[in-house]
A and B are shown apart, each in its own frame.
Chain A
């Protein structure tokens, strides 16, 4: 199966060592993590990991199950770009004179919707958010005009058809065994078995 970008959204307990346990699952299989973000989630006390990898669906599905197997992981979702609203953020430190003296640079920053965060005599820090490619392009342009420093944030993503984790967490908090389903896409489709 062909590789493509998948974004994993992982809800976990907020406990020490979770990053290690999750990253082990990738590194053990020699899979490179393109970007990783950890943050609070919409539910208090629940942490959210957003991990970007480039892999086949087959591999991603197995990874998701291995991650979900970790005791302190609540739920793993994996989505293609189409199923997501996603962004990356970037900060650029540019010499002030490059902006004041070159009209093109100013126009460029405007075009990319970059906002000034700090303005000083010697440098200006701009921030922008967008798709990977947009950030790449702006970086490339600014490099020509003496870009001093650049940093890109990890991808963050919202799942289009997600209802958030509020209802799910209530299910998890019930004293019942799991009603989660291990779906098998091959069920009843005999001819599709063993296509890997």
Chain B
């Protein structure tokens, strides 16, 4: 492993709302240790947090792999969840398939995927109904 790449791996528990956000919190802390600009940290924080929460709510958990180089942060979110049947609808603001219960908890505002796209510099989504979803995002380091 070359010295100028930091790789991190997180396993996300499904439906565990209490510890949701710990992985993105840990990455946030590491980015601060790396002296990365506030704006980049904020972009990463929002994009990764939304991805993490999505795995908790929709995918019964998943995995997050993070790679940090001096130029960018790459986040790969993979899960073996139900997949997204209508990607176009899921990408539009306000669209949500979360249950009433989830809404009542303050989640599922339909901003998850749109925010992930908005706060990252590149965003790719691969999904197959019944198999799972892989989202790859990068955030450039300013």
Determine if chain A interacts with chain B. Answer: no
